[in-house]
């Protein structure tokens, strides 16, 4: 298993977790706002010291929630900056470039991930992508932690390719000039999540599944 591939997957997993945390913080902030409005309506004009203390605590809590969201944004920016620096975002990241004050110019060559083409990833059995499956599988299968990362991989490795009209293929299929195909399959017999299919003209192939379980543990 590639140490760099694991780091990249963990970074994406962390970004996804941060986004969920921010969503929960936003919900908490809305509740605090409702509480503050209710307290003001109930005790408006009251000189009771206890009431004043309660209102003050509510306001402090709201400030702390806002500061926490800002800190999480800073962590996300740092992670996106790191991924971009090693060419692992796979495509221009508007969020990363905007937050860092950079122009939307990526050093990542179109059609590559970690500076390798789709065919090159097939040749080394996807060793730089995610991890080997935690449940025994064929050696052409890899796993990533989140759907966001799978989408990121597809956008990266299909960049510059042309759409392929393949009747019955449940998703998007793209073909590069070297006849390597990159497909984003929305349905799979073995998983409820999307799957990435990469095949070369020479008959090589890898499949990339999503599995967020036990991440960080070696297979």
- Indicate whether 129 and 57 sit together in one domain: no
Q: Report d(CA 219, CA 214) in Å as an integer.
A: 9
Residues 72 and 148 occupy one common structural domain: no
User: Which pLDDT value is given to residue 39?
Assistant: 82
Indicate whether 200 belongs to any domain. Answer: yes
Low-confidence spans in the chain with pLDDT less than 50: 1, 90-107, 218-219
- Residue 75 domain flag: yes
The confidence score (pLDDT) of residue 90 equals: 45
Please write the tens of the pLDDT for every residue from 67-122: 888 888 888 778 877 777 766 654 333 223 323 332 333 445 778 887 889 999 99
In this structure, are 67 and 154 located in the same domain? Answer: no
Half-sphere exposure of 17 (CA within 13 A, CB side): 11
Question: Taken in order 175, 177, 178, 179, is the CA torsion positive or negative?
Answer: positive
Domain of 196 in residue numbering reads as: 112-210
d(C-alpha 164, C-alpha 187), whole Å = 18
Q: Which helix (H) or strand (E) holds 184?
A: strand 181-185
Residues 39 and 128 in one domain: no
Question: In the chain, how many domains are there?
Answer: 2
Same domain? For 193 and 127 the reply is yes
């Amino acid at each position: 298993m590639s140490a760099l591939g694991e780091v990249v997957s963990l970074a994406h997993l962390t970004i996804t977790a941060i986004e969920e945390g921010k969503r929960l913080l936003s919900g908490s902030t809305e509740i605090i706002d409702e509480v503050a409005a209710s307290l003001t309506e109930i005790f408006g004009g009251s000189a009771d010291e206890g009431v004043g203390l309660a209102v003050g605590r509510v306001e402090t809590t709201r400030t702390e929630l806002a500061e926490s969201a800002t800190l999480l944004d800073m962590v996300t920016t740092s992670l996106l900056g790191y991924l971009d620096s090693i060419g692992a975002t796979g495509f221009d990241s508007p969020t990363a470039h905007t937050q860092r004050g950079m122009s939307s110019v990526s050093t990542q060559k179109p059609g590559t991930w970690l500076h390798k083409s789709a065919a090159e990833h097939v040749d080394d059995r996807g060793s730089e992508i995610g991890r080997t499956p935690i449940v025994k599988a064929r050696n052409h299968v890899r796993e990533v932690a989140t759907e966001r990362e799978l989408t990121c991989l597809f956008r990266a490795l299909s960049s510059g390719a042309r759409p392929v009209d393949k009747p019955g293929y449940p998703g998007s299929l793209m073909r590069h000039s070297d006849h390597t195909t990159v497909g984003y399959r929305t349905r799979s017999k073995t998983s409820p999540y999307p799957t990435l299919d990469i095949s070369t003209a020479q008959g090589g192939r890898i499949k990339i599944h999503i599995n967020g379980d036990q991440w960080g543990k070696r297979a």
